[in-house]
Amino acid sequence: MKTPTVNSVTHPSSTHFLLFVFSILFAYACQRTEATAQELLKGFKATPNASVSSFQALLSDSTDTFSLGFLRVNSKELALAVLHVPSSEQLWLANPTQLAPWSDRTQLFFNGSLVLSGPRERLFWSTETQGDRVVLLNSSNLQVQKLDEYVSILWQSFYFPTNTLLENQNFTSNMSLVSSNGLYSMRLGSNFIGLYAKFNEKSDSGQIYLRHKALEAKANIIEGQGAIYARINSDRFLGMYQVGTIPPVDMLPFNSFQRNITGFVFLRLESDGNLKGYYRDGSKWILDYQAISDTCELPNPCGSYGLCRAGSGCSCIDNRTDYSSGSCFESTSSGDFCSEGEDDYWVLRRKGVELPFKELMRYEMTSYLEQCEDICEKNCSCWGAVFNNGSGFCYILDYPIQTLLGVGDESKMGYFKVREGAGKKKMDVGFGVGIGVLCGAIVVLIGAISFGSCKIWMRRRGVKQILEDEDGISPGPYKDLASASFRSIEMCNARR
């Protein structure tokens, strides 16, 4: 005799049945993506599938943790990417500066070289090798291998990092990490790790804003002995090493240093210029290291001509300008004042300002403010100068003015050139008024109910927010890993 309970199980309701069908379909769909190839051999070809909205996996590692595939970017473009599958986190891009179109004429093939080509034979990217197969290792390292008596590695993605350095990946002096917006880079010097900002497109090397010199506590750097390289060690530190010696010449510990944690680790140069380390804990990324912990010490937290004050956030160097729209002047700041037609500027002065990384800035010694200003005024590649009346230091800025620090000390004085025509966007005001008029019209036309909802809408989004959206140049907010960028890609086989 059957009990009612058993009955309810053996005769599922229609909802249960639907759920069942869905789970089968889902499992089937996931099966298909999980059955991604584990190696690519000569003759392999793939084109992006129009129906894929985020990521099309082509090659997986043996643990199915990492995947190489087509990543959809800005809805119409394609990057060849290696992702951490469970989190959809991008670890490596083949062609970060030259995206291909997401079109059936874009093709990835392997003919000894792994090649990404576009319409009309356009070459986007190639490994330029003569290998036998492509594999993705369980470290996320993509390799082109030659199979003779033994396996030799002709090319590997670990030699060409993008913005991310992975556990056990050797970072050498001929590599760089570049933030996804192309503004910041990390490079090695003879005995230090440097972070550089490309504030001026006319300068090749960029402005250094953080310099971590090897402490040489466990081993000294021996000149002429071997190159310096850096690596994230599984004990949770960023080590600097000299080729040929085993102990590190420097150790930058992560928070979880020497704690018994095994999750996957990586270090990333973020688009705000900070260098952050993360590790995987179950289904989350945990922030485990950051090179710059104070917002105002970042290279450009408030945008051009912004002023950052510890505790009170962003304002503008020009106190007549309201920061509320997310920036201080329309960003026509580039190049210098040396060429004709580019040489008009007006001068903005402000007391109580300081440079965020002044110890790394070029300076001259001057006796008084006018002398310091004069050096900058006479040099068309100078954008500004900050004078310290206490010490006589005159710091020279040879790039468009970025965010300065607001300090209480009025003896620190800034002189800044502002390109003529660089004013507040008039549109902000117009747009604001436009919104106002529109709301007014709605009030008149539709009456009290519409008025109510308009007000609610304005309050929810905030008028400020609307203006910011319009402006589109607000500096990147601090994003923790849990935030939007991490969820921007959804994959079928993301395990929830």
Ligand X SMILES: *[C@@H]1O[C@H](CO)[C@@H](O)[C@H](O)[C@H]1NC(C)=O
Neighbours of 347 (CB within 10 A): 12
Least distance to ligand X from the beta carbon of 261, Å? 8
Q: What is the 3-state secondary structure (H, E, C) of 467-487?
A: HHHHHCCCCCCCCCCCCHHHH
Nearer to ligand X, 118 or 277 (CB): 118
Among 115, 267, 308, 404, binds ligand X (CB under 6 A): 115
Dist. CA 31–CA 353, nearest whole Å: 59
Asked whether position 225 contacts ligand X by CB under 6 A, the answer is no
Nearer to ligand X, 156 or 271 (CB): 156
Packed helices 448-461 and 463-471: angle between N→C axes, nearest 10 degrees: 60
> Which of 199, 192, 182 is closest to 216 using CA atoms?
192
| 153 touches ligand X (CB under 6 A) | no
Tokens representing 239?
């080590």
* Residues within window 247-286 making contact with ligand X, judged by CB under 6 A: 260
At 357, is the secondary structure helix, strand, or coil? coil
Q: How far is the CB of 220 from ligand X (least distance, A)?
A: 18
Residue with tokens 């190696």: 39
Q: Does 324 help bind ligand X (rule: CB under 6 A)?
A: no
Tell me the closest approach of the beta carbon of residue 483 to ligand X, in angstroms. 28
Among 180, 381, 450, 474, binds ligand X (CB under 6 A): 381
Stretch that binds ligand X, among 24-32, 108-116, 306-314, 482-490 (CB under 6 A): 108-116
Stretch that binds ligand X, among 12-20, 94-102, 111-119, 441-449 (CB under 6 A): 111-119
Other beta carbons within 10 angstroms of residue 223's beta carbon come to 8
As a whole number of angstroms, the distance between CA 180 and CA 340 comes to 33
Helices (H), 49-99: none
**For residues 183 and 232, which CB has a smaller minimum distance to ligand X in the complex?**
232
By CB under 6 A, residue 130 contacts ligand X = yes
Closest approach, Cβ 129 to ligand X, in A, equals 8
15 sits near ligand X (criterion: CB under 6 A): no
| Residue from 47, 103, 107, 113 binding ligand X (CB under 6 A) | 113
Q: What CA–CA distance (Å, rounded) separates 490 from 496?
A: 11
Q: Output the six-digit token pair for 453.
A: 């909802």
Closest by Cα among 389, 316, 302, 310 to 350? 316
Span of 110-118, 289-297, 337-345, 432-440 interacting with ligand X by CB under 6 A: 110-118
Contact between 398 and ligand X (CB under 6 A)?
yes
Out of 49, 138, 205, 312, name the contact with ligand X by CB under 6 A.
138
Please report whether residue 396 would count as binding ligand X according to CB under 6 A. Answer: yes
SS3 of 275, please?
A: strand
Should residue 319 be labelled a site residue for ligand X when binding is judged by CB under 6 A?
yes
Q: Which CB sits closer to ligand X, 119 or 436?
A: 119
Neighbours of 216 (CB within 10 A): 14
Residue span 159-198 as binding mask against ligand X, x where in contact by CB under 6 A, dash where not: ---------xxx----------------------------
DSSP one-letter string for 301-332: TT-TTEEEETTTEEEESSTTS-GGGS-SS-S-
Considering only 27-35, 287-295, 324-332, 376-384, which stretch makes contact with ligand X by CB under 6 A? 376-384
* Shortest Å distance, C-beta 70 to ligand X: 18
Q: Is 371 helix (H, G, I), strand (E, B) or coil?
A: helix
* Residues ≥6 apart with Cβ < 8 Å to 433: none
C-alpha 36: how far from its chain's center?
A: 28
**CB-wise, 274 or 325, nearer to ligand X?**
325
Q: Which of 47, 54, 271, 389 lies at the binding interface for ligand X (CB under 6 A)?
A: 389
Angle at 245 between CA 170 and CA 168, to 5 degrees: 20
Site for ligand X, rule CB under 6 A = 63, 111-113, 115, 130, 138, 158, 168-170, 243, 260, 319, 351, 369, 379, 381-382, 389, 396, 398, 411
